[in-house]
């Protein structure tokens, strides 16, 4: 979702209904500042406010998410794209930051554990050495799991063939070959498998 485009659309629909920012805010039981934030592209309505906002403005949720009026054909095309965007938005930026921090800590623990094990000069009992190996391996597995969870819940991909944006299934995400910015996936729209560009939403 384009925050600026959606904000401009909300503003245009509000004015079309003859409402001020304050009046719209009162109908939704929110602050006028929140409406202003939406209209200036500095934020998007919470999921719980999308339906009430759409009803007040006389538009569909799909049109709200698209930032424009839609005809029947566009409505169907945009529905899938908007669903993918919402799926990718389940984690807030704060949640993503916290998760990445946890991932970093786990990585450090794993590396330190392996460093101690690999250092031949470290004189430790066999049981302790085995414990360190197990802990290091568990930390690395946990680290990989955290990274995958963040990626699955936060990334969406753009098909280079048809331009469709989509959120892959967890299995497709995990099994897909990837680089730092792309992942080889099958587009649910055109059915072609290609290197799709990834990006985080919000």
Let me know whether 113 and 168 are in one domain. Answer: yes
Question: Considering its fold, how many domains does the chain have in total?
Answer: 2
155-158: strand order across its sheet: 165-166, 155-158, 193-200, 182-186
Helix (H), strand (E) at residue 151 = helix 126-154
**52 falls within a domain:** yes
**81 falls within a domain:** no
Let me know whether 63 and 127 are in one domain. Answer: no
**173 falls within a domain:** yes
pLDDT score of 110: 63
**85 falls within a domain:** no
Nearest of 65, 4, 79, 7 to residue 36 by alpha carbon = 7
**160 falls within a domain:** yes
Domain region containing 58 = 3-70
**200 falls within a domain:** yes
Residue 15 belongs to domain with CATH number: 1.10.260.40
Let me know whether 29 and 124 are in one domain. Answer: no
Let me know whether 38 and 102 are in one domain. Answer: no
Kindly give, in sequence order, each residue whose CB lies less than 8 Å from that of residue 101, ignoring residues fewer than 6 positions away. none
3-state secondary structure of 192: coil
Question: Digits of tens for pLDDT over the chain (202 positions)?
Answer: 678 888 899 999 999 999 999 999 999 889 999 999 999 988 888 877 888 898 899 888 778 877 887 665 554 555 555 555 554 444 554 555 566 566 667 666 666 666 666 555 556 677 776 776 777 677 667 767 766 776 777 778 889 988 888 888 888 888 888 887 788 999 888 889 999 988 765 5
Tokens standing for residue 84: 């993918």
**199 falls within a domain:** yes
Let me know whether 15 and 45 are in one domain. Answer: yes
Q: Write the pLDDT tens digit of every residue in 77-89.
A: 555 555 555 544 4
Q: Hey, CA dihedral for 100, 101, 104, 106, is it positive or negative?
A: negative
Q: Write the pLDDT tens digit of every residue in 156-172.
A: 888 998 888 888 888 88
């Amino acid at each position: 979702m384009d925050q600026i485009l959606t904000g401009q659309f909300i503003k245009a629909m509000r004015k079309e209904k003859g409402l001020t920012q304050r009046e719209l805010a009162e109908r939704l039981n929110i602050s006028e500042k929140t409406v202003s934030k939406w209209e200036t592209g500095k934020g998007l309505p919470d999921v719980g406010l999308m339906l009430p906002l759409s009803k007040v403005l006389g538009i569909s949720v799909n049109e709200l998410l698209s930032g424009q009026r839609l005809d029947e054909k566009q409505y169907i095309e945009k529905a899938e794209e908007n669903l993918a965007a919402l799926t990718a938005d389940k984690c807030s930026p704060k949640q993503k930051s916290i998760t990445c921090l946890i991932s970093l800590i786990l990585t450090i623990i794993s590396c330190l554990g392996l460093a101690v094990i690999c250092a031949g000069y470290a004189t430790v009992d066999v049981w302790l050495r085995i414990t360190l190996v197990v802990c290091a391996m568990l930390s690395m597995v946990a680290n990989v799991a955290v990274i995958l969870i963040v990626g699955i819940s936060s990334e969406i991909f753009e098909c280079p063939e048809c331009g469709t944006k989509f959120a892959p299934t967890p299995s497709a995400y995990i099994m897909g070959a990837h680089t730092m910015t792309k992942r080889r996936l099958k587009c649910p729209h055109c059915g072609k498998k290609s290197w799709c560009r990834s990006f985080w939403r919000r």
